[in-house]
Each structure stands twice: as structure tokens, then as C-alpha cells.
């Protein structure tokens, strides 16, 4: 996994998790949904990079 893509994935996962929890804590459903979406995007980016690494070896 390239370092920059790995960093992007981890950042998206972390930001998404924080937004999701903040949205839930304050009762803001839109913020919670956006956070969940960002977290899922980070998960997908990470899975894509892991898949690319698997084919390299």
C-alpha cells in the first residue's frame, strides 16, 4: 500500500468516526450520516490498496 493512500484511508476513517460520533452526541443526523459515509470511504480505500498489494506479491 502506498504511504500516501494509506494515510488518506486512515485519515478518512478517523475523521468519519469522529464526525459520526459527534453527530450522534449532539443529535445531528446529517453529520452522523456524513461521518459514516467518510468512514466507509476510508474503509473502501484501505481495502482497495490491500487488494493491490496482494496482486503485487
Closest among 41, 53, 52 to 9, alpha carbons compared: 41
* Predicted TM-score (pTM) of this structure: 0.82
Check residue 26 and give its pLDDT: 97
Asked whether the beta carbons of 14 and 45 are under 8 A apart, the reply is: no
What are the tens digits of pLDDT across the range 1-57? 578 888 999 999 999 999 999 999 999 999 999 999 999 999 999 999 888 888 876
**2 alpha carbon, distance to own chain's centre:** 16
Asked whether the beta carbons of 15 and 43 are under 8 A apart, the reply is: no
Check residue 57 and give its pLDDT: 66
Check residue 1 and give its pLDDT: 53
Amino acid at each position: 500500500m502506498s504511504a500516501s493512500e494509506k494515510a488518506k484511508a486512515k485519515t478518512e476513517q478517523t475523521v468519519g468516526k469522529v464526525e459520526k460520533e459527534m453527530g450522534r452526541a449532539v443529535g445531528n443526523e446529517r453529520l452522523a450520516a456524513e461521518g459514516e459515509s467518510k468512514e466507509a470511504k476510508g474503509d473502501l480505500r484501505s481495502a482497495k490498496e490491500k487488494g493491490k498489494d496482494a496482486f503485487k506479491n
